[in-house]
Amino acid sequence: MERAIADFLRAAAVPLTRSQVAQTAHRVAEAWSEDLLLGYGRDPAGEMASEEAPAGEGLVVLRDIAFHSMCVHHLLPFFGRAHVAYLPHRRLAGLSKIARIVDALARRLQVQEVLTEGIVDAIEASLEPRGAACVIEAEHMCVACRGIRKPGVRIITTRFTGRLAAGPRREEALRLLVPETAPR
């Protein structure tokens, strides 16, 4: 990876002899392999520990799970917040485990829609809930610093399954996941 990055820098006419960039290829390779793409070595569903769920019909909601990821189209970052809910059936997740799923999936090359779907898929695979939902709000550097150059634009993606896919449960989940969408 380091050699490929050095080749990229040379192709971009970046002089590699200056002291500021002499170690750039090494640093970039280290950042990508030890942090930005760490999610490929992790099984999101395997991050989940669970216990028996008590009887009841209440939603479990985690809001504002910060993440950063890399766009597969331009290799530029996107970052934001994931809001996740599920309606337990037989299993409850340890709450930190939901954030671990978000982290494991975010550290891959992808588009935001795939991240949103992957979070719900991992929750469904590991907990078999009555329904699951994810709303992601993110800012993409490919929108902010290239192309249309519009910083501050938030992209929102959603996925709702099972009993959260429609009706009153969807409305409840949406109101809890993104409170500013609730009618006043």
Measured in degrees and rounded to the nearest 5, phi and psi for residue 36 equal -65, -30
CATH 3.30.1130.10 residue spans of the chain: 46-181
For residue 60, the model assigns a pLDDT of 93
78 touches 112 (CB < 8 A): yes
Distances in whole angstroms, Cα of residue 95 to Cα of each of 59, 77, 92, 107: 13, 26, 9, 20
What confidence category does residue 39 fall into, taking pLDDT thresholds of 50, 70 and 90?
Answer: very high
Per-residue confidence (pLDDT) for residue 55, from 0 to 100 = 67
User: What is the pLDDT, as a whole number, of residue 44?
Assistant: 83
> Has residue 110 got a pLDDT over 90?
yes
Q: Is the pLDDT of residue 183 over 60?
A: no
What pLDDT is recorded for position 43? Answer: 83
**Is pLDDT above 60 for 58?**
yes
Q: How confident is the model at residue 182 (pLDDT cuts 50, 70, 90)?
A: low
Mean pLDDT of 134-149: 94
112-127 vs 95-106: helix crossing angle, rounded to 10:
140
Give strand pairing partners of 67.
Answer: 80
Whether the Cβ atoms of residue 162 and residue 131 lie closer than 8 Å to each other: yes
Residue 28 scores a pLDDT above 80: yes
Q: State pLDDT tens for residues 59-95.
A: 999 999 999 999 999 999 999 999 999 999 988 888 8
Tell me yes or no: is domain 46-181 CATH 3.90.79.10: no
User: Would you say residue 49 has pLDDT above 70?
Assistant: no
- pLDDT class for 22, splitting at 50, 70, 90? confident
Q: What does the pLDDT average to over 123-133?
A: 94
| pLDDT > 70: percent of the chain | 96
